[in-house]
Amino acid sequence: MTWDQIEVPKEIRPFMLGDAEETPLGQKNGAKRQYRYGNLHILEYHDKYLVHMDKADPRKDPLGHLILDAPEFLVGAASAFVGGRKMASEVYKLQKNLPFAKGTSLLVGFLASMATGYLGYSFVKKLKNF
């Protein structure tokens, strides 16, 4: 649980807003289901609800939600793009006269994008929870 979430035990009160919509948008973090009611994001677990307010509703403002509430996804995607492209380019420059240069550079670029994307995502996620 992060500092900006409120935990509501299910045994205290079976809590659910009547107008809240079940949604696939957001990180479930082990929750059974998740709901949205405007900017309110509700995660349902077996024994509790975790509730927090997002700055932007991803159903109405997806880019604003990514920038304000989930920057780790943007940083991860940008890191993956830049890291993968740079590695693929460098490998291709070194091996451009070899028979499988394009395939090798694409594979290395893909693997590099996975690694750098994960590192960028993880770094910003840790910063957010710090």
117 domain-assigned? yes
pTM: 0.76
1 domain-assigned? no
pLDDT on residue 3: 55
d(CA 9, CA 30): 16
Domain identity same for 52 and 80: no
Q: Do residues 42 and 35 make contact, with C-beta atoms less than 8 angstroms apart? A: yes
- The 10s digit of each residue's pLDDT in 69-109 is 999 999 999 999 999 999 999 999 999 999 999 999 999 99
Per-residue exposure over 93-116, b if at least 16 CB sit within 10 Å of its own CB, e if not: eeeeeeeeeeebbeebbeebbeeb
Q: Of all helices (H) and strands (E), which one includes residue 17? A: none
19 domain-assigned? yes
| Average per-residue pLDDT for the chain | 91
Domain identity same for 88 and 116: yes
pLDDT on residue 130: 77
Look at residue 1 and tell me whether its pLDDT is greater than 50.
Answer: no
Domain identity same for 53 and 76: no
Domain identity same for 33 and 82: no
What are the residues whose beta carbons fall under 8 Å from the beta carbon of 94, sequence distance 6 or more?
none
50 domain-assigned? yes
pLDDT on residue 16: 65
| Residues of the domain holding 24 | 6-61
Count of domains observed in the chain: 2
